[in-house]
Structure 1
Amino acid sequence: MVYCPKCGAVNDDQATFCQKCGGRIVIPQQPASEPVKRAPAVWNQTPFDRTFRGGGPLLKSFLGLIFVLLVMEIFGALSGESAFAGNFADFLGDTLLLFFLMFLLGFFFGYYNRKYPRESAIVSPLVTAIIVTFVLWVVSNVFTLLGESQSDDFLTVMGDMVSSVLYIIFLLILLLGYIGVIMKAGSFGVPPPNVNVPPAPPAAAPQPAPYAPRKRMGRSNRDKIIFGVCGGMAEYLDTDPFLVRVLWVVGTLLTSGVLILVYVILAMIMPKYP
């Protein structure tokens, strides 16, 4: 029912004129509600990220590849004057694809680590170990090439020594990295005991917020296949456990099975949660 604005008579809902006085009935229309605008997600963007977005890491990888090609051409031009220059140019030519893959891995991980720091924490030790091991492998080859070109046994021994301990360095970085991830997640933290604090007087300063224990990383008892390590990591990161397991299997293949040992060690040191 609607009321006439002049005489106040009651009319039907669809009436446009008053049945009593004949005055026009104007029904005020409510303004349509505007959709709620959500603020865009804020993350630690670099100028390169804002300009090229997801294509930035790929562009950086190609720039890195061009730089390696430039270095290879420079050393190739000097091959007539130095045996090391020619050998190093050949080494760069044989490993161009590997350099490009390392550029892709490093730049894409850096991009997603800035955008999703919590989710990328699970693969941060693995990526760091791969990149550091690759750099040390290049250094060992440089030592070996220098030793062979200059007939220096010391440089050759240094190159062989660095090459022989690469897997140990990789495993050490990986293990320390995941221990750091677990400790950062608060797995070894013990909540402080509850203390009964008397109520503060009205004029006292505001009390600090009550202690809230952080979310901890541990072995999952609900989503596990072997020991629940990947399931616990997925629960901590609020992500799909299948994705974590796929990444772990891929890392195991890339590291020739080293992640199997890391999995066993994590299963022994990570607490088990229901």
Structure 2
Amino acid sequence: MTYCTKCGKKNDDDAEFCSKCGVRLDTKDKKNSNKKQLKKTGKIIEEKAEEFGKSIEKAGIRFESKFENSIKDFQKWYDNKFKVAGPLIWSFLGLIILRLIISLMDRSGDDVVVLGEISDFLYSYLLILFGLMLLNFYNSYLNRTYKKQYRFISPAISTISCVVTLWILSKILIIIDTNLEIPFLASIANFIDEYIFVIFIVILLLGYCFELIIKPFAKEVSKK
């Protein structure tokens, strides 16, 4: 809208003369008015968008908090219900799921040879993979149940699990490279095989640094 500089009457944007007093409307004032209106509208949109973004962020934080609390409540109920047998149940469920995946990959082996070879490899190391699941689930369970007593053992167990997983991964990468000829994957696999002991020491040191230094320091900072 454009205001008449003489009588103050509000006129349409495309009006050349004031509808009340007939004075020619100043187009410069009209342009300035339009610019101010656009600027004001843009500011309002920006503020609304910022408010919407903050509300979405808050909703996301609330959802994440509720989800984490639900997981913790379920975990607490599960640990109290099944106790030491809990990790064993999860391990068997993991074994069943892994066996199904291997079967699906094996069926696809006729069309995609590399999947068939990977499924054969996983099947031949099925007991090791099951042991790895047991190790991880019991490590997690003991870490939750006996935090103070187990904190000195947990990094070592986690390191063993991580290194074994990396070793299995390196073998799978070699199978993929053999079939698809991807030298980069072979380089990664060879690096893991060659420096597996060094990797073990580095992960172990990082694990204990986190558990014995960074974690307590973070707790002290959060208390302050």
Question: Normalising by the residue count of structure 2, what TM-score does the alignment of the two structures yield?
Answer: 0.58
**Does residue 140 of the first structure (1) align with residue 170 of the second (2)?**
yes
Correspondence for 1:97: 127
CA contact (8 A) 1:57 1:111 kept: yes
Correspondence for 2:156: 126
**Higher fraction of helix:** 2
Q: State how far apart, in whole Å, the 1-side matches of 2:185 and 2:215 are.
A: 43
Change (3 A) 1:154 1:176: closer
Question: How far has the Cα of 1:76 moved from its partner?
Answer: 0.5
Correspondence for 1:53: 83
What is the CA RMSD across the aligned residues, in angstroms?
A: 2.2
CA contact (8 A) 2:139 2:158 kept: no
Q: State how far apart, in whole Å, the 2-side matches of 1:184 and 1:154 are.
A: 35
CA contact (8 A) 2:171 2:189 kept: yes
Question: How far has the Cα of 1:119 moved from its partner?
Answer: 0.7
Q: State how far apart, in whole Å, the 1-side matches of 2:91 and 2:118 are.
A: 21
Deviation readout 1:156-209 (Å, 9 max, x if unpaired): 2222122222221111111232344443698xxxxxxxxxxxxxxxxxxxxxxx
1:72 to 86, 102, 106: 102
Correspondence for 2:146: 116
Correspondence for 2:116: 86
Q: Any idea what SS the aligned residue of 2:110 has?
A: coil
Q: State how far apart, in whole Å, the 2-side matches of 1:82 and 1:110 are.
A: 36
Correspondence for 2:136: 106
Question: How far has the Cα of 1:84 moved from its partner?
Answer: 0.7
Change (3 A) 1:185 1:155: closer
Deviation readout 1:227-257 (Å, 9 max, x if unpaired): xxxxxxxxxxxxxxxxxxxxxxxxxxxxxxx
User: 4+ runs of 1 displaced by more than 4 Å?
Assistant: none
CA contact (8 A) 1:133 1:166 kept: yes
1:174 to 189, 192, 204: 204
Aligned length in residues: 144
